[in-house]
Amino acid sequence: MVQVIEWVNPGEDEIIWRYPNEVIKWGAQLIVHEYEVAIFMRDGKVYDVFGPGRHTITTQNLPLLYKLVGGSNSPFKATVIFVSMKQFQGRYGGETQTRELAPVKYYGVYWFKVADPVLFLTEVVGGQSLYDTADVTKFIRAYFNEGMMKHLSAYSIVDLFQNLDMVSTQVKVKLMEDFRRLGLELVDVKIEGVNTTDEWRQRLFWIMQTGNAQAVMQMDTAKQVAHELGQSEGAGLGTGMVVMPQLLQQPAQPTQPAQPYAGGGVPPAGYQNPQQPAQPATQSQQQTQEICPYCGKPIPPGARFCPYCGHEIKRCPNGHIVPEGAKFCPVCGAKIE
């Protein structure tokens, strides 16, 4: 009987399959389906590679192994691994720390496929001695997660919560490079969510309200900030202004640096930067514009819920935005129910 080497009915999620018989006869029929590659390995090393089609195993199309077995025509030992070239989806999730050591949880989805089967088998299958789909998939997920943890930790908590789109794009590029090293193509990555502790969420609130990350970070805890600013009824404002004047005097939105006068020398009297015409109305509107402390987007005055992220906006009786869990309004000192 002719030996037939074929991956019959691979499952949806199966990325590799090892032909169970390690003794191969010359003349064996090798059947490789579309989106598959069959690779002959021995002792973790990759020898000959076959693309889709029906192949008869001869000394001619298996030159490397033929040489290895000393030119003998008797059956020889080899591991035949089939690799699927289809696209796979994986879920990930984990914990890391931001640049300021804020604890962050994240989760999402990624899509990948094998781009270079020889490199993939050398690095992952042979290199790690993982010969079935479950082990390979686990390895890839751990590798992805490790990269995600490392790359996310280079960002600040404000970037993660306020500029997640930008962070996603940059992290994706880095992870794609990591994957290329394994012979894999990372097709896409989606960060579905990031989260942090209550303590850090409060701190984030202050950073977004004041636009002054450095000052908030210098305080021991965000609770301390809220406490200092809203210490006692009525006295809240005064105390706050003494303790953290630079915090409250900063406009909530980052101001653009003044454009230098392009003409050289001293600008003529009455010179106005054409890119920044004086617009007192817009200017003052911008300063009273409220910012969602959870996603950083501008919200309509007096909004009770952010139209962008849906988060509830807590307010004091006088309408000032207050952090979650605050007992007094940090601006006017009013007690919060």
Is residue 305 close enough to count as binding Zn ion by CB under 5 A? no
Q: Which of 35, 115, 320, 325 binds Zn ion (CB under 5 A)?
A: 320
Q: Which of 292, 321, 323, 326 binds Zn ion (CB under 5 A)?
A: 292
Q: Which of 184, 291, 306, 321 binds Zn ion (CB under 5 A)?
A: 306
Is residue 331 close enough to count as binding Zn ion by CB under 5 A? yes
**Among residues 175 and 306, whose Cβ is nearest to Zn ion?**
306
**Among residues 152 and 331, whose Cβ is nearest to Zn ion?**
331
Residue type, 255: T
Nearest to 117 by CA among 86, 91, 142, 73: 86
Least distance in Å: CB of 318 to Zn ion? 4
User: How many Cβ atoms sit within 10 Å of the Cβ of residue 245?
Assistant: 11
**Among residues 94 and 298, whose Cβ is nearest to Zn ion?**
298
Is residue 316 close enough to count as binding Zn ion by CB under 5 A? yes
**Phi and psi at residue 133, in whole multiples of 5°?**
-55, -45
**Among residues 41 and 321, whose Cβ is nearest to Zn ion?**
321
Say how many residues touch Zn ion, by CB under 5 A: 13
Least distance in Å: CB of 136 to Zn ion? 40
Nearest to 174 by CA among 151, 194, 190, 203: 151
**DSSP tag of 85:** -
Is residue 329 close enough to count as binding Zn ion by CB under 5 A? yes
User: How many Cβ atoms sit within 10 Å of the Cβ of residue 12?
Assistant: 8
- b/e for 103-115, b at 16 or more Cβ within 10 A? ebebebebebbbb
**Among residues 44 and 245, whose Cβ is nearest to Zn ion?**
245
How far is the C-alpha of 88 from the C-alpha of 65, rounded, in Å?
A: 31
Question: ∠ at Cα 289 (288, 293), nearest 5°?
Answer: 115
Q: Which of 261, 271, 305, 308 binds Zn ion (CB under 5 A)?
A: 308
Query: Which residues of this protein are in contact with Zn ion, per CB under 5 A?
Result: 292, 294-295, 306, 308-309, 316, 318, 320, 329, 331-332, 334
